[in-house]
Chains A and B, each alone.
Chain A
Amino acid sequence: MTDIKSDVFLKFDDVKKSYDQKTLVVKGFNIDVQQGEFITLLGPSGSGKTTVLMMLAGFESVTSGVIAIEGKSINKTAPYLRNIGMVFQNYALFPHMTVAQNLAYPLTVRNMSKADIKARVAEYLALVELEDFGSRFPAQLSGGQRQRVALARAMIFEPTLILMDEPLGALDKNLREQMQYEITRLHKKLGFTVIYVTHDQAEALSMSSRIAVFNDGIVQQCAAPAELYERPSNAFVADFIGENNFIKGQVERISDGLAHVTVPGGATVIAQTSDGLVVGASCQVSVRPEKLFIHPTTHAHDNEMTARFISRIYVGDFIRYYFRLPDGTDIVIKMLNDLSAPEFSDGQDGKLLWLTSDCIAFPAAT
């Protein structure tokens, strides 16, 4: 493999992976990662994200394409020479070694002197706030503590990159949030580069500098969390990230970057356009549940359509309304639980309102 002339820190250049030489699990992955970025590979299971991580770590071979670190291809570098730290979902701590021995292992392998190792281990134990746990065995720690040890072990040899494969998947919700904070804190403090794999979008949105959304071996969109949520580039991303409503319609005309769409019931709504939208073709307009309002409202709006009330579910801090469009599509609306949350009787019609800037028209799935 030839080296790529570039000053990009980590580069995937048209990387493909096939296990059986027939079907591609990863179909041409490209990304440029800057030093210190926190990149998340997000996608449903089987979308190829873990395969990308394993190719980067060297535990899966690359079928074609180049993975380069600082301009040098690492395709032919053995996994143990890549200097890449890894954090696993099941921690993968060595059960027969104490916490301190686990941390010391990568340093011992690198022939560091005993005194240096001792100092470094103490430093990293302090970093993950486990100063007094050095002589314990992994089995004597809680799940959160084990994952902190695993983090420290992946960082202690100052690797070029740190890979995390669903590291918080085995923890319960509270602990998970605590660890997200912990990882973000360490990332800010030490400035290492992270490639993080998860199927949990809340985790991805709250931690990453950029997220690559995977589906079916292809990156659907790679962008910062806010952009991914506000400006999804296709219907898959719009549906996968957060909750979304899809209203089927027909594109009447496109002007000034706005699409005029006829929706069920005959009304016309105006939406942002997206790539591949064609006049006269069918499309789907996506609107997030929290961007929809019900008449009467004080919120600004410039689109409206009528739908039949189905049910209203009390969730606590907000209320979910279910409406049905004339073509049978169900629409969800999330409203804050305040005095303006209206009551409806079964089968009553309501007017749904929203802003043009809050909806996007995507080409209908073929």
Chain B
Amino acid sequence: MGRFPEYYNLWHIAGHYALRGFAALVLIFLMLPILVIIPLSFNAEPFFTFTEGMLALDPDAYSLRWYKEIFDDEKWTLAIKNSFIVGFAAAILATLLGTVAAVGLASPWMPYKRLITALLLSPMIVPLIIIAAGMFFFYTQFNLVGTYTGLIIAHAALGVPFVIITVTATLSGFDRSLFIAGLSLGASPVKVFWDVVIPLIRPGVISGGLFAFVTSFDEVVLVLFLAGPEQRTIPRQMFSGLREQINPTILAVATLLVVLSAAMLFTLEALRRRSERMRGEGL
């Protein structure tokens, strides 16, 4: 009984294990739906359930046919291409705008700071469906509905708050005297910004950009409202795929997305550690 404090009675110990069990259940509840699709995506049969062969671990019951299906089907390849085009463009736009906004908002001379911050962060809080409806009517005025430009701008607007939040967080650790020091050494404000500010807030900029990309990548509501058939993205294709062609292709796509998300999560974590290390050592 060495691992419990000596004053623990049976109830304490029971409580300890109950808490652990409950935490494990929560984790399973959250993870199982995601994990279960991975083996199912390798199903040789067009079913959403485990076949007897799969349960017996028969190699013939598994196949990559649904993965092949993705790349053979024009709808899917178009959706993947669209998702990446829109995602990258929106992420780059959001990163540029969000970084500039965060730097501006961090300035001590910025007027109406709270109001502007609230406005810029609002896309994160306002229900998507409202934004989507609003944008739909607004975009019709400019013939932006059913265009890549429209979708990219809409997704960039959704991504900006994430960039602002992550960049503001890194800027809060930024020592303003570094900027002053740069100027005193003879560099113009723009040069100091590039040489000193950007390298130091880079982790925040990159993770903000990744967030913006992911936001665009799995966004479906705005796409439903604003995109034409030409701009179908992966989530949109999955949405219609669920109703039109019920086969494990969707599961294969989902598995690929899980892998992509996991890769991004690891990138973010690595960036976070890096910035922590730099700040820990800095000063």
Contact = CB atoms under 8 A, between A and B. Distances in A.
B127 interface: no
B186 A106 contact: yes
B200 A95 contact: yes
A105 B199 CA distance: 14
Given A137-B281, A139-B282, A80 B186 contact: yes
B73 interface: no
A59 B200 CA distance: 22
A86 B184 CA distance: 6
Interface string B215-256: 000000000000000000000000000000000000000000
A30 to B, nearest CB: 24
Contacts of B6: none
Nearest to A110: B186
Given A90-B283, A95-B283, A157-B186, A109 B181 contact: no
Given A94-B178, A95-B282, A57 B187 contact: no
Contacts of A88: 177, 180-181
B175 interface: yes
Interface residues on B, range: 20 to 34
Contact of A96 (B185, B188, B189, B199): B199
B257 to A, nearest CB: 35
B183 A79 contact: yes
B272 interface: no
A124 to B, nearest CB: 13
B177 A80 contact: no
Given A94-B196, A95-B283, A109 B177 contact: no
Contact of B187 (A91, A95, A109): A109
A153 interface: yes
A59 B187 CA distance: 14
B283 A83 contact: no
A175 interface: no
A80 B187 contact: yes
Interface in A63-98: 79-81, 83-86, 88, 90-96
B186 A96 contact: no
Interface string B6-39: 0000000000000000000000000000000000
A122 B170 CA distance: 34
B193 to A, nearest CB: 12
Contacts of B278: 95-96
Given A88-B177, A105-B195, A109-B191, A95 B281 contact: yes
Contact of A90 (B177, B189, B281): B177
A232 interface: no
Contacts of A163: 184
Interface of A: 57-59, 79-81, 83-86, 88, 90-96, 105-106, 109-110, 137-140, 153-154, 157, 163
13 contacts: A58-B183, A59-B180, A79-B184, A80-B183, A85-B185, A88-B177, A90-B177, A95-B282, A95-B283, A106-B185, A106-B186, A106-B187, A139-B283
Q: Top 3 closest A-B pairs, CB basis?
A: A139-B281, A95-B282, A92-B181
